[in-house]
Structure 1
Amino acid sequence: MDELILVGIGTGNPDHLTLQGIAAIRGADLVLIPRKGADKADLADLRREICARVLGAGHQTRIAEFDLPKRDADGDYLAGVADWHDAIAGAWAGTVAAASPAPRRVALLVWGDPSLYDSSLRIAARLSPPPRITVVPGITALQALCAAHRIPLNGIGAPFLVTTGRRLREGGWPKGVDSVAVMLDGTCAFQSLDPAGISIWWGAYLGMDHELTQAGPLAEAAPRILAARAEARARHGWIMDIYLMRRG
C-alpha cells in the first residue's frame, strides 16, 4: 500500500459525498469497509450503497470488508483506546495484505469527517511501513445538526466549544463559552447540569431517513430527548447523536 485515502462520507445521506470523495473512491484500487456487528449492520450497508452508486458495474475498484475490533471498556480509558487503535491498524493491514493483486491506493470511508472526534488519522499513524496519507474532508455531524435545526453554531463574534459527554459530566459547563456542542455522549450528560437558562438542540441519525430532532429549553426538552433516544436505540440497536447547548 503506497497511499491510504481517508474519505469523509458525511452523516448518513449518500448525497453528502463530495465530488472529491467520488474521485478518490473511483481512483482507489481497494476500498475497506468495516463491519461493526449485526446491530450496526446499516452502517456497513450505507458504505456499500455509496460504493455501488459511485463505482457502478464493471469498475475495477475492489471492495474488502473486515470485522472491526471491539474496545475493552474495562481498566484505564486511554490505555484501552491505544490497544484498540493498535488492533484496528492490524485489521487494516491484514485486510490489505490479503488482497490480490496487492493494492497500491486504498480508500477508507470515514463517517462524518476524519478530523472531528474520529481516530482514523491516529490509527493510520500506527501502520508500518507508513503509507502516504490523503484526507478528503466530509460533512460533520456539527454541520448536519445546525442544518437540521436551521441555526448558527455560534453567537455573533462569540466562540464555541466542542467536547464529549464524559468531559461534560466530569467537569460541568466549560468556562469562557456560552455555546457547547457535545459528541460521544452515551449517558446524556446534559442531565448533570442545572438547566436554568440553557437551550438545547439535539439530533440523532442525522442525514439518514430516520433522522430525529428535538429542541427547546433544556428543562423541557430533556425528557423528550431521553424518551426519543431510548425508543430509537431499542428499535435500531444503535444510535449516533449530537447536541448543541447555549446559555442566555
Structure 2
Amino acid sequence: MKKILIIGIGAGDPDYVTMQAVNALNQVDVFFMMDKGPSKTKLIELRKEICRRYIKGDDHRFVDATSPQWTRGTEDYFSTVDDLNRDKQVLFERLIAEEMADGECGAFLVWGDPTLYDSTIRIIEIIASSGRHDLDYEVIPGISSIQALAAKHRTTLNRIGQSIEITTGRKMAEGFPEGADSVVVMLDAEDTYKRFADQDIDIYWGAYVGMPDEILVSGKLRDVARDIERMRAEARQANGWIMDSYLMRRGGGASGGSTT
C-alpha cells in the first residue's frame, strides 16, 4: 500500500507548523511540489525551507510538477473549477503511480489548512476510492490564514454570542450575509469590501500574513478602504501575486485605523 499525507503547513511563517505536522514530515519519502509559475517560486522555497528546518535526516526526495492553471473571469465558475480539479487529479494520479514505490509515503504540503478552500482532500479521496491504487491517506490540520489574521490583529473572529460566516469575495458580492455579525472573506480578487464602505463596518485586513512581506490594516471600512485598495494593487504588482483575507464586522469593534 502507498500512503499520502495531506499536511497543512500554516499561513506563511514556518513557526506556524504544528508538532503533528513535524512528526508527519518525518514520515515522508517523497514530497510533491506543485509549481505554479515564476511568480510563485517563493511559495515552493518556503515549503522546502520548512522541510529543511524540521526533517531529521535526508532520506527523502522532492518531485516538482507543473500545477494546472485555471482561467479566471469565466462566466461558469463551477465548471472552470471542476475542469481544474480534473486536471489536478490526472496529475496527482500520475505522480502517485510513477514517483512512489509500494510501501512509500508521499505528501502534499498545503498552504494554511487543507480543510479550508482547498481541493487536495477531495482529489485524493477520488483517487483512493477509484480502486486503481492501493492507497491510504491522512489529513494533518494547519494554522489557517483566518486564525493568523485574527491573531495578528489581536482580535477574535466572533463577538460573544454572535455568529460568523466564512465566505468568498464572489459570494460576498451578493451582500452581507443575513444574520451574520462578522464575516471572514477569502479569495476576493475584486476588492468586494468597497461595496460596504458606506455602512458602519469595521475591517481587519491582511496580506501575506506570517511572511516577510506582511501587510496589516484595520479600522472603520469607510476610512481605510482606499488604503487597502492601493496597498493591495501595489503589493500585487511588486510580487506578481497576492494572498490576502479580511474580517468584516458590523460597527462597534475597531476604532480609528492602523497600518503596519
Residue from 169, 179, 185 that aligns with 1:176: 179
Question: C-alpha distance in 1, partners of 2:110/2:172?
Answer: 25
When residues 5 and 187 of structure 1 are mapped into structure 2, their CA distance, relative to the original with a 3 A threshold, is same
User: Which residue identity is paired with 1:10?
Assistant: G
Alignment match, 2:258: none
Alignment match, 1:23: 23
Aligned length: 246
Residues 88-237 of structure 1 mapped to structure 2, 5 A cutoff:
88-99=88-99, 101-102=101-102, 104-127=104-127, 128=130, 129=132, 131-169=135-173, 171-237=174-240
Question: C-alpha distance in 2, partners of 1:36/1:141?
Answer: 20
**Contact kept? 2:3, 2:103, Cα under 8 Å:** no
Question: C-alpha distance in 1, partners of 2:19/2:32?
Answer: 19
Alignment match, 1:39: 39
When residues 202 and 100 of structure 1 are mapped into structure 2, their CA distance, relative to the original with a 3 A threshold, is closer
TM-score normalised to the size of structure 1? Answer: 0.94
Please state whether the residue corresponding to 2:172 is helix, strand or coil. helix
Shift of 1:177: 1.0
Question: C-alpha distance in 1, partners of 2:171/2:101?
Answer: 45
Question: C-alpha distance in 1, partners of 2:35/2:11?
Answer: 17
Question: C-alpha distance in 2, partners of 1:85/1:23?
Answer: 29
Shift of 1:68: 0.4
Alignment match, 1:239: 242
When residues 82 and 103 of structure 1 are mapped into structure 2, their CA distance, relative to the original with a 3 A threshold, is farther
Question: C-alpha distance in 1, partners of 2:36/2:49?
Answer: 16
- 14-23 or 95-104: which moved more? 95-104
Identity of aligned residues (%): 41
Question: C-alpha distance in 2, partners of 1:156/1:47?
Answer: 37
Question: C-alpha distance in 1, partners of 2:232/2:211?
Answer: 15
User: Which residue identity is paired with 1:90?
Assistant: V
Question: C-alpha distance in 1, partners of 2:192/2:48?
Answer: 33
Question: C-alpha distance in 1, partners of 2:198/2:144?
Answer: 27
Question: C-alpha distance in 1, partners of 2:101/2:119?
Answer: 28
TM-score normalised to the size of structure 2? Answer: 0.90
**Contact kept? 1:86, 1:126, Cα under 8 Å:** no
What are the ranges of 5 or more consecutive residues in structure 2 without an aligned counterpart?
252-260
Question: C-alpha distance in 1, partners of 2:97/2:26?
Answer: 20
- 75-84 or 97-106: which moved more? 97-106
Shift of 1:98: 2.7
**Contact kept? 1:30, 1:103, Cα under 8 Å:** no
Q: Deviations over 1:208-241 (max 9, x none)?
A: 0111000111111100100110111111110000
Question: C-alpha distance in 2, partners of 1:145/1:89?
Answer: 31
**Contact kept? 2:2, 2:102, Cα under 8 Å:** no
**Contact kept? 2:197, 2:225, Cα under 8 Å:** no
Shift of 1:2: 2.2
User: Which residue identity is paired with 1:70?
Assistant: Q
User: Which residue identity is paired with 1:6?
Assistant: I
Question: C-alpha distance in 1, partners of 2:62/2:194?
Answer: 43
**Contact kept? 1:29, 1:103, Cα under 8 Å:** no
When residues 227 and 61 of structure 1 are mapped into structure 2, their CA distance, relative to the original with a 3 A threshold, is same
Shift of 1:104: 2.5
